[in-house]
A and B are shown apart, each in its own frame.
Chain A
Amino acid sequence: MDWQAIWLSVRLAFCTTAVLLLLGVPLAYWLAFSPRRWRFLVEAAVALPLVLPPTVLGFYVLLAIGPRSPVGALYAHLTGGMLPFSFQGLLVASALYSLPFSVQPVASAFQGVDRKLVEASWCLGVSRFATFRRVIVPLARQGIATGAILSFAHTMGEFGVVLMVGGNIAGVTRTVSISIYDQVQALRYDAALETSLFLLGFSFVVLALTYSLQRRIWAVWPMN
């Protein structure tokens, strides 16, 4: 079994989950509570990775972070390195690709928190941020856990985006699914079977864990 690839995928999935908790939770809060009319446009943009072919998403990310793009140029200026075909570049792509998996369950959990509890807290003189931390987050913790687990699992198994953005560099961008692809290409079916079985078992355990936490996983946007 390609332990190097498994370890890389686990690292990538951890980092992606962390980034998505940091970015996804505020975004979910905005989506759940914003009164803006054009909120649906952001909802649609967040959900895009669900329907877009990974190659299309990967292609655009590759263009966006390439050395000739403003983002890529800025990154090169700051760090001296390049984003494409690096772990950091992979992280950017994975975070975008798994965005709906973290944002949707969290936003739906936030919307499920009784509005009166939030207002009661405000009337007690507790600030909006403290109310978020002390009332909304504890009551939405199942949704946040679901979002984190799904982003982790989804990143573990991604293929197309990684191939487009990261290529196939052992120890840097060769994730589990790419390793399996390589093994099949090299006609090493027994190794491919082993790694695949590992990924299958892992995914099943993660989903079973998630369903035991919460029934509604593939949340559609609830209407206000």
Chain B
Amino acid sequence: MADELICRCRKRLSSGFELAAEVSIPIEHSRVTVLFGPSGSGKTTLLRLLAGLDRPDEGVISFHGDTWYDSSRALHLPPQRRRAGFVFQDYALFPHLTVAQNVGFAASRARAAELMETFGLVDMAARYPRGISGGQQQRVALARALAAGSALLLLDEPLSALDAASRVRVRTDLRRMLLSSGVPAIVVTHDRAEAIALGDWMAVLVSGRIRQTGPVREVLRHPADVSVAESVGVENVLSAEIAARDPGLLTLQVGQQHLQCVDSGETGPLFACIHADDIALSRDIARSSSVRNRLTGRVLSVLREGPLARVELDCGFPLIAVITAQSAAEMDLKPDDTVCAVVKTTAVHTAAAVI
């Protein structure tokens, strides 16, 4: 298929770590692909192979039908001829050049001016990178890559250089900028909230192997195996809308039910993320406790996993809870029972859904 980024390659590092990635990323259907994995899984190594900064030991890399690397033909296009704009973790802006000179580094004057405008950089055109904030540096790095005519953006942990306070805000901006860029992007992250907020499609990398690919929510909800489930961590990703906003508290409409969570300042449609082991189950629907969130649902299945039991509920939407096997036995949970799922307000995390 022509509209794919295909990578089937192996690379052994001097540390002994071996990356053997086999993945084809549909770049036409999804604009932002998240390359997800725990630290040390080989995400950055893979990104560098795609950019042409490192050379695989063997394999094939092709983009849109153009072969970038093919060990059987001894073909290795240099980074200059791949035009994959690499946005480094710390943005790697040229410190001796101003913002405007950075954006125009490999672009025509008109194209650079256009992107300065689009990315809101005109006011800081004459400033040097060390004098602007992390979020602004990120915008300069993106504008610089797009001005140079990159056909693909590769972003290595784009939010890790920012402080926690600005991360959520920049995350939403980044998603918007990536969507409006008209260029497919691959974003490396190890943070599931970032994956949900930024990506349409995701590939999960564990110990140098691609373990699963698919739409972000699909992968997060149905991890293909234990290693993916462990690395993505969160079992419940629910589509939600803001029903009410009180000081510091947000009430979300999820299906026909309501969930309360701490307000992190996001607007518009979003996702509510809940860890399965943050959900408690109760048979009585009594309301005498400090917990605000009670979801009534029907048990679909109860699956024993050693000392734990994984309970799938239908609350109008699927919900997965993990409780101890002992509790499950004491409650005598069976399919079709009606139970109450109890979630503490602080256990509900939101992630903006920018469409």
Contact = CB atoms under 8 A, between A and B. Distances in A.
Nearest to B105: A124
Given A117-B94, A138-B96, A139-B96, A122 B106 contact: no
Contact of A119 (B79, B90, B94, B106): B79
B84 interface: yes
Contact of B90 (A116, A121, A122, A126): A116
Contacts of A127: 80
A121 B86 contact: no
B56 interface: no
A77 to B, nearest CB: 42
B259 to A, nearest CB: 42
Nearest to B80: A125
B85 interface: yes
A139 B85 CA distance: 22
B51 interface: yes
Contacts of A126: 80, 105-106
Interface stretch (B1-9, B144-152, B157-165, B227-235): B144-152
Given A139-B95, A139-B96, A120 B88 contact: yes
Nearest to A134: B105
Given A119-B53, A119-B79, A119-B86, A124 B144 contact: yes
Interface of A is mostly: helix
Contacts of B85: 123-124
Contact of B148 (A114, A119, A124, A134): A124
Nearest to B78: A122
A137 to B, nearest CB: 10
A28 to B, nearest CB: 19
Contacts of B90: 116
Contact of A123 (B53, B94, B95): B53
A122 B106 CA distance: 10
B105 A121 contact: yes
B243 interface: no
Contact of B94 (A122, A125, A135): A135
B275 interface: no
B79 A122 contact: yes
Interface in B105-142: 105-106
B185 to A, nearest CB: 14
A139 to B, nearest CB: 6
B224 interface: no
A125 B83 contact: yes
A123 B85 CA distance: 6
Nearest to B51: A123
A119 B141 CA distance: 13
Nearest to A123: B86
A126 B107 CA distance: 10
B92 interface: yes
Interface in B72-93: 78-86, 88, 90, 92
A114 B96 CA distance: 12
Contacts of A117: 92, 94-95
B100 to A, nearest CB: 15
A114 B91 CA distance: 12
Most-contacted residue by chain B among A117, A125, A135 (CB, 10 A): A125
A120 B79 CA distance: 9
Contacts of B106: 121, 124-126
A125 B148 contact: yes
Contact of B145 (A114, A124, A134, A138): A124
A138 B101 CA distance: 14
A90 to B, nearest CB: 38
Given A119-B79, A122-B53, A114 B105 contact: no
Contacts of B144: 124
Interface in A57-91: none
A214 to B, nearest CB: 16
Nearest to B53: A119
B267 to A, nearest CB: 34
Interface in B40-86: 51-53, 78-86
Contacts of A123: 51-53, 79-80, 82-86, 145, 150
16 contacts: A116-B88, A116-B92, A117-B92, A117-B94, A120-B94, A121-B94, A122-B79, A123-B52, A123-B150, A124-B105, A124-B145, A125-B81, A125-B148, A126-B80, A126-B105, A135-B94
Interface of A: 114, 116-117, 119-127, 134-135, 138-139
Q: Which 5 A-B pairs have the closest CB atoms?
A: A124-B106, A124-B148, A116-B92, A123-B86, A120-B92
